Amino acid sequence: MNIHPLALGALILSLVLALITDIRSHKIPNWLTYPIVFLAILFYSEVNGLQGLLFSAEGLGLGLVLLMPFYMLGGMGAGDVKLMGAVGAALGPGHLFYAFLFTAIAGGIYASILLLSQTGRLKEFASGLYSALRTFVAIKELRFPRLEGEARGVKLYYGVAISIGTLAYIFFEAYRGNISSPLF
Protein backbone atom coordinates (compact mmCIF):
# COMPACT_ATOMS: atom_id res chain seq x y z
CA MET A 1 0.00 0.00 0.00
CA ASN A 2 1.27 3.48 -0.83
CA ILE A 3 2.02 5.92 1.94
CA HIS A 4 -0.66 8.59 2.19
CA PRO A 5 0.97 11.98 1.37
CA LEU A 6 -1.00 13.89 4.03
CA ALA A 7 -0.11 11.33 6.71
CA LEU A 8 3.52 11.59 5.64
CA GLY A 9 3.48 15.40 5.71
CA ALA A 10 1.92 15.42 9.18
CA LEU A 11 4.47 12.84 10.34
CA ILE A 12 7.41 14.89 9.06
CA LEU A 13 6.13 17.99 10.85
CA SER A 14 5.60 15.98 14.04
CA LEU A 15 9.09 14.48 13.87
CA VAL A 16 10.65 17.92 13.61
CA LEU A 17 8.55 19.13 16.56
CA ALA A 18 9.39 15.98 18.55
CA LEU A 19 13.09 16.56 17.92
CA ILE A 20 12.87 20.13 19.20
CA THR A 21 10.63 19.22 22.13
CA ASP A 22 12.77 16.29 23.24
CA ILE A 23 15.92 18.41 23.16
CA ARG A 24 14.26 21.25 25.10
CA SER A 25 12.07 19.50 27.66
CA HIS A 26 13.18 15.85 27.41
CA LYS A 27 9.59 14.81 26.82
CA ILE A 28 7.44 13.95 23.83
CA PRO A 29 3.92 15.07 24.71
CA ASN A 30 0.72 13.26 23.79
CA TRP A 31 -0.52 16.33 21.87
CA LEU A 32 2.26 15.56 19.41
CA THR A 33 1.82 11.80 18.96
CA TYR A 34 -1.91 11.19 19.27
CA PRO A 35 -2.99 13.44 16.37
CA ILE A 36 -0.60 11.64 13.98
CA VAL A 37 -2.07 8.28 14.93
CA PHE A 38 -5.62 9.63 14.54
CA LEU A 39 -4.89 11.33 11.20
CA ALA A 40 -3.03 8.34 9.77
CA ILE A 41 -5.83 5.94 10.65
CA LEU A 42 -8.41 8.40 9.29
CA PHE A 43 -6.53 9.02 6.00
CA TYR A 44 -5.81 5.36 5.31
CA SER A 45 -9.34 4.29 6.26
CA GLU A 46 -10.87 6.95 4.03
CA VAL A 47 -8.79 6.00 0.99
CA ASN A 48 -8.56 2.21 1.44
CA GLY A 49 -11.38 1.30 3.80
CA LEU A 50 -10.84 -1.62 6.16
CA GLN A 51 -7.56 -2.55 4.47
CA GLY A 52 -6.24 0.98 5.14
CA LEU A 53 -7.40 0.84 8.74
CA LEU A 54 -5.57 -2.46 9.25
CA PHE A 55 -2.45 -1.14 7.49
CA SER A 56 -2.23 1.83 9.85
CA ALA A 57 -3.23 -0.17 12.95
CA GLU A 58 -0.60 -2.83 12.22
CA GLY A 59 2.06 -0.14 11.88
CA LEU A 60 0.92 1.44 15.14
CA GLY A 61 1.00 -1.89 16.97
CA LEU A 62 4.40 -2.86 15.61
CA GLY A 63 5.85 0.55 16.50
CA LEU A 64 4.65 0.18 20.08
CA VAL A 65 5.87 -3.41 20.37
CA LEU A 66 9.36 -2.62 19.03
CA LEU A 67 10.15 -0.15 21.80
CA MET A 68 7.98 -1.45 24.66
CA PRO A 69 10.69 -3.74 26.11
CA PHE A 70 13.11 -0.80 26.38
CA TYR A 71 10.43 1.26 28.14
CA MET A 72 9.65 -1.58 30.53
CA LEU A 73 13.34 -1.89 31.40
CA GLY A 74 13.54 1.85 32.10
CA GLY A 75 15.67 2.65 29.07
CA MET A 76 13.29 5.19 27.55
CA GLY A 77 10.13 7.14 28.21
CA ALA A 78 6.58 6.40 27.16
CA GLY A 79 6.66 9.35 24.75
CA ASP A 80 9.42 7.64 22.77
CA VAL A 81 7.31 4.49 22.47
CA LYS A 82 4.24 6.46 21.40
CA LEU A 83 6.29 8.39 18.85
CA MET A 84 7.45 5.13 17.25
CA GLY A 85 3.82 3.98 17.27
CA ALA A 86 2.83 7.18 15.45
CA VAL A 87 5.61 6.56 12.91
CA GLY A 88 4.18 3.08 12.36
CA ALA A 89 0.63 4.38 11.96
CA ALA A 90 1.77 6.84 9.29
CA LEU A 91 4.23 4.60 7.42
CA GLY A 92 2.67 1.16 7.88
CA PRO A 93 4.47 -1.95 9.12
CA GLY A 94 6.81 -2.51 6.15
CA HIS A 95 8.25 0.99 6.06
CA LEU A 96 8.27 1.12 9.87
CA PHE A 97 10.71 -1.77 10.02
CA TYR A 98 13.24 0.11 7.88
CA ALA A 99 12.60 3.39 9.71
CA PHE A 100 13.31 1.47 12.93
CA LEU A 101 16.64 0.25 11.51
CA PHE A 102 17.60 3.82 10.52
CA THR A 103 16.54 4.91 14.01
CA ALA A 104 18.72 2.26 15.64
CA ILE A 105 21.72 3.44 13.62
CA ALA A 106 20.99 7.09 14.47
CA GLY A 107 20.57 6.11 18.12
CA GLY A 108 23.90 4.29 18.18
CA ILE A 109 25.72 7.25 16.63
CA TYR A 110 23.92 9.69 18.93
CA ALA A 111 24.70 7.61 22.04
CA SER A 112 28.36 7.26 21.09
CA ILE A 113 28.76 10.98 20.43
CA LEU A 114 26.94 11.87 23.63
CA LEU A 115 28.91 9.43 25.76
CA LEU A 116 32.24 10.47 24.34
CA SER A 117 31.57 14.20 24.42
CA GLN A 118 30.20 14.23 27.96
CA THR A 119 32.68 11.91 29.58
CA GLY A 120 35.82 12.23 27.49
CA ARG A 121 36.30 8.47 27.64
CA LEU A 122 37.10 7.64 24.03
CA LYS A 123 39.91 5.21 24.89
CA GLU A 124 37.82 3.40 27.53
CA PHE A 125 34.83 3.19 25.19
CA ALA A 126 36.91 1.81 22.31
CA SER A 127 38.57 -0.71 24.63
CA GLY A 128 35.21 -1.92 25.95
CA LEU A 129 33.78 -2.22 22.45
CA TYR A 130 36.82 -4.18 21.29
CA SER A 131 36.54 -6.48 24.31
CA ALA A 132 32.84 -7.11 23.64
CA LEU A 133 33.50 -7.94 19.98
CA ARG A 134 36.43 -10.20 20.86
CA THR A 135 34.26 -12.06 23.40
CA PHE A 136 31.48 -12.42 20.85
CA VAL A 137 33.84 -13.90 18.25
CA ALA A 138 35.40 -16.28 20.78
CA ILE A 139 32.35 -17.62 22.61
CA LYS A 140 29.38 -16.27 20.58
CA GLU A 141 28.10 -14.33 23.59
CA LEU A 142 27.64 -10.58 23.60
CA ARG A 143 28.89 -8.99 26.85
CA PHE A 144 29.26 -5.25 27.21
CA PRO A 145 31.27 -3.74 30.05
CA ARG A 146 29.20 -1.93 32.68
CA LEU A 147 29.27 1.85 32.62
CA GLU A 148 30.58 3.42 35.79
CA GLY A 149 30.75 6.90 37.27
CA GLU A 150 29.71 9.82 35.13
CA ALA A 151 29.28 7.65 32.01
CA ARG A 152 26.44 5.85 33.78
CA GLY A 153 24.66 9.18 34.28
CA VAL A 154 24.58 10.16 30.59
CA LYS A 155 20.95 10.53 29.47
CA LEU A 156 19.93 9.62 25.94
CA TYR A 157 16.72 11.21 24.69
CA TYR A 158 15.59 8.67 22.14
CA GLY A 159 13.01 10.93 20.53
CA VAL A 160 15.98 12.65 18.92
CA ALA A 161 17.14 9.34 17.41
CA ILE A 162 13.61 8.38 16.32
CA SER A 163 13.14 11.75 14.63
CA ILE A 164 16.52 11.82 12.89
CA GLY A 165 16.43 8.13 11.89
CA THR A 166 12.89 8.26 10.55
CA LEU A 167 13.48 11.53 8.67
CA ALA A 168 16.66 10.07 7.17
CA TYR A 169 14.69 7.01 6.03
CA ILE A 170 11.90 9.13 4.55
CA PHE A 171 14.34 11.33 2.63
CA PHE A 172 16.32 8.28 1.50
CA GLU A 173 13.17 6.64 0.13
CA ALA A 174 11.99 9.92 -1.43
CA TYR A 175 15.37 10.26 -3.15
CA ARG A 176 14.99 6.73 -4.52
CA GLY A 177 11.48 7.60 -5.72
CA ASN A 178 9.72 5.11 -3.44
CA ILE A 179 7.87 7.74 -1.39
CA SER A 180 6.14 10.85 -2.66
CA SER A 181 4.97 13.68 -0.47
CA PRO A 182 3.59 17.17 -0.96
CA LEU A 183 6.75 18.36 0.83
CA PHE A 184 9.16 17.08 -1.87
| Residues 80-112 pLDDT 10s | 999 999 999 999 999 999 999 999 999 988 887
> Counting Cβ atoms within 10 Å, is residue 141 exposed (0-12), middle (13-18) or buried (19+)?
exposed
Query: Diameter of the chain by CA atoms?
Result: 56
Percent of the chain clearing pLDDT 70 (strictly above):
85
Return d(Cα 65, Cα 141) in angstroms, integer: 25
Nearest to 12 by CA among 48, 52, 39, 45: 39
Flag whether pLDDT at 184 surpasses 70: no
Within 8 A by CB and 6+ apart from 176, the residues are: none
Q: Are 71 and 88 in contact (CB under 8 A)?
A: no
* pLDDT tier at 150, thresholds 50, 70, 90: very low
* Mean confidence (pLDDT) of the chain: 86
Provide the pLDDT for residue 35. Answer: 95
pTM: 0.80
